[in-house]
Amino acid sequence: MRRALLFILPILVIVSLAFTVFGVIQVRYEEEKLMDDLQRKANAVCETLVFSARHILLNNDLKNANRLVESFQKRERLQGCVIYGKDAKILAITERISDWQQKDRPYLNDVLLNKEPRAAFEEFRGYSVYSYILPVTDEESNALGLVEVVYDTSFVFTTLAALWKRLSLSLIILLVLIVLVMLLIQRRIFTLPIVRLTEWFHYFQKGVTDMPHPIKEKSELGKLASEVEQVALSLRVARRTISDEALTRLEKEEIWTEAKLRDLIHAKLGEHALFVVSNREPYMHVIDEISGKPKCLRPASGVVTAIHPILCACGGTWIAHGSGNADRKFVNSKDKLGVPTEDNRYILKRVWLTKEEEEGYYYGFANEGLWPLCHNTHTRPIFREADWQMYKKVNRKFCDSVLEELPAKNPFLFIQDYHFTLLAKMIKEKRPDVRIALFWHIPWPNPENFSICPYQEEILDGMLGCDLIGFHVQNHCNNFLDTANRLLESRVDTEKFSVVRFGKETFVRAFPISVNGHANGKGSFKVEPEREIEKLRKEYELEGKIVGIGVDRIDYTKGIVERVLAIDRFLEKYPEYRKKLVFIQLAAPSRTHIKRYHDLMGEIDELIEKTNWKYMDGNWAPIIYLKRYFSSDEIEPFYMLADFCVVSSLHDGMNLVAKEFVASRSDLNGALILSQFTGAARELTDSIQINPYSIEDFADSIKLAIEMPPEEKRRRMENMHKQITENNVYRWAANIIVDLTALKNIQA
């Protein structure tokens, strides 16, 4: 519209100017004509009056003078007339203008003297009148007196005003007609072809690349459309070639790498792009509190850690909640941006939530309800009806956002986690052709525990909209099948590991998630690791010390309190390690709006302070607590310098910190103390496994980790390193893609 105005406005201005000039000329002409008329009329009337007045003045006949001025006032628009004597005094005046005599008129003597007529506009009773004066002379041209006629001129102004009104109305009608005609022309010539072209681009973008373009004429637009059609053709050919080459390469390589996953995705998905949905976004823009400038962060989240390398490898679109306070500044008109910023590998589409939506859906239902429901940590889940309604609303919002993006042909959608249990069903209602996998990153409880959820049926029904549901470990799969079997009208096929509900089959599989694994045996830093490690040793005075490390989001499931209690017990029980051990805890604050998390932060602060106070000696204190977000490049040197790493979750779907620690130890040194309640414990069997609730055993495990002979440590780390290298996150994603595409073939 703004563009159309830019186009129409100059035309309107020119037409209005031309019309105004024409109007002014016409009004002037009309005014002159009216005045001319008036003057001629005044002249004629005055001359008639002179003729009668001469006789009256010669005879000084005042009676007739009065009669005469009264009889003349009946003439059209004549206000009245006056007869003056030779001394310029009024002899007779029309009654109607009797107050005319109060007017000061010094020019009367001049007219008598010069015997010349006088015409002028005068002001009378606040109006303009036209006065015309003629001298009356005898036969010898001696002045006998004067006659004056006074005309009303208001009709001139009324006539001119009416004329202006007519002209303005015509101008308005003309302008409206011009606007309408211009809009019609511009719609026909520009808008319609562009709308058709945009529609065609839209389909093309959604994967319909074989539709001919809609611009038939050979205009510039037609040329542009042909060019895009050529690009479409080349792209189609290139994609086919890539998937053929990818298949060949896949058969040769063994270890899963970024490149191999890319090949697999090209081979399996071909031209169909990959879409990922998660609550947490991989890149957040926030205003730096110190500098006041926006900065870009990678959130401390296991989901982000796992999915980001996959999208980096194969491109696609990641749809997530735009939760950073500067996020809106960095998206285009479709709420998208290319990430990573320095080297755009995939598209991030941000979905905006209101404060109430975030409160109800994220903090409320997802994190005060589902999170404690699924984790066995004895934290009571809270289910509020209002939160549930918000959760449904937000799932619908994400559904609309995803539908806008999905291409026309068989797309693949990969949903993350417990925030979107209803999404798959919502999408399938509109697009049954979309292949959907959901990965559940947290544990799945047994049916008894799950059955306390008041919305159990809708949640299970929503999840069964998926074609494939993945959990970290087989035990979670079994729990899910049991739950569906007991709480929902459905049939569980224990041979195929699937749930059938109303004829729709959903497969359930275990896919243990992992990290990228550094298959080349080196760290993934952009900076030099040795320099970084040295810097840390100096900064935290770690020279000659035994260093333990813990890296967590601050969450009650991570067992941070139990960890501190175990360190306390260890130092109590084995005092010879006082002043020798330093434990560094990196902790990212998380979900701090929830009271349980807020209280937990306070509890951890207090406990660490108490423990440090208890053992403090000179400059030494056992625990260094670094409570902030760290980038992965910052975390890795901590992993590399540590003698042991502690993961003490009370319950954890997988736990990527354990795997990151192992992956970063290409020196095959260091020990891992790992809670038996993590998914990771099933794969990392060479870790020192603990029950974090048993503080005594936990403290002994710290001693075991410290005193383990180097060869033993090396042997264990080598096994774990091999395990992570072979079963890295690329293999995890590949397994899901292979299973999902295999299902597609079965169901087709």
* Interacting residues with ligand ADQ (CB under 6 A): 300-303, 305-306, 441-442, 513, 551-553, 586-588, 629-630, 635, 652-657, 660
CB of 530 to ligand ADQ, least distance (A): 21
CB nearer to ligand ADQ: give 559 or 653. 653
Residue pair 396/462 in contact (Cβ under 8 Å)? The answer is no
Q: Which residues are bridge partners to 351 per DSSP?
A: 321
Q: Quick check: helix, strand or coil at residue 622? A: coil
Residue pair 279/319 in contact (Cβ under 8 Å)? The answer is no
Rounded (10°) angle between helices 302-314 and 656-664: 60
CB of 509 to ligand ADQ, least distance (A): 15
CB nearer to ligand ADQ: give 462 or 559. 559
CB of 550 to ligand ADQ, least distance (A): 9
CB of 245 to ligand ADQ, least distance (A): 32
Q: Are strands 671-675 and 688-690 parallel, antiparallel or unpaired?
A: parallel
Encoding tokens for residue 22? 């024409």
Encoding tokens for residue 521? 């045996």
CB nearer to ligand ADQ: give 151 or 371. 371
CB nearer to ligand ADQ: give 56 or 635. 635
Encoding tokens for residue 640? 């590399």
CB of 243 to ligand ADQ, least distance (A): 29
Encoding tokens for residue 617? 């000696």
CB nearer to ligand ADQ: give 424 or 656. 656
Q: What DSSP string describes 74-87? A: TSTTEEEEEEE-TT
Residue with smallest beta-carbon separation from ligand ADQ: 302
CB nearer to ligand ADQ: give 133 or 586. 586
Residue pair 488/481 in contact (Cβ under 8 Å)? The answer is no
CB nearer to ligand ADQ: give 300 or 646. 300
Residue pair 407/207 in contact (Cβ under 8 Å)? The answer is yes
Radius of gyration over every alpha carbon of the chain, rounded to an integer in angstroms: 47
Tell me how many helices (H) and strands (E) the chain has: 24, 23
CA–CA dist 33, 41 (Å, integer) = 12
Question: Could you give the strand order of the β-sheet that contains 78-84, starting from the edge strand earlier in sequence?
Answer: 90-93, 78-84, 143-152, 127-137, 118-124
CB of 630 to ligand ADQ, least distance (A): 4
CB of 502 to ligand ADQ, least distance (A): 30
Residue 594 burial (CB count, 10 A): 17
CB nearer to ligand ADQ: give 306 or 424. 306
Side-chain-facing half-sphere of 345: CA atoms under 13 Å: 16
CB of 495 to ligand ADQ, least distance (A): 28
Residue pair 34/28 in contact (Cβ under 8 Å)? The answer is no
CA–CA dist 656, 661 (Å, integer) = 8
Q: Quick check: helix, strand or coil at residue 93? A: strand
CB of 465 to ligand ADQ, least distance (A): 21
CB nearer to ligand ADQ: give 660 or 683. 660
Q: How far is CA 366 from CA 21, 102, 392, 476, 478, in A?
A: 71, 95, 11, 19, 22
Smallest CA-to-CA distance from 484 within 510, 509, 506, 511 is with: 506
CB nearer to ligand ADQ: give 621 or 635. 635
CB nearer to ligand ADQ: give 405 or 555. 555
Q: Which residues are bridge partners to 294 per DSSP?
A: 287
CB of 595 to ligand ADQ, least distance (A): 19
CB of 611 to ligand ADQ, least distance (A): 20
CB nearer to ligand ADQ: give 265 or 300. 300
CB of 545 to ligand ADQ, least distance (A): 21
How buried is 167 (Cβ within 10 angstroms: 0-12 exposed, 13-18 middle, 19+ buried)?
middle
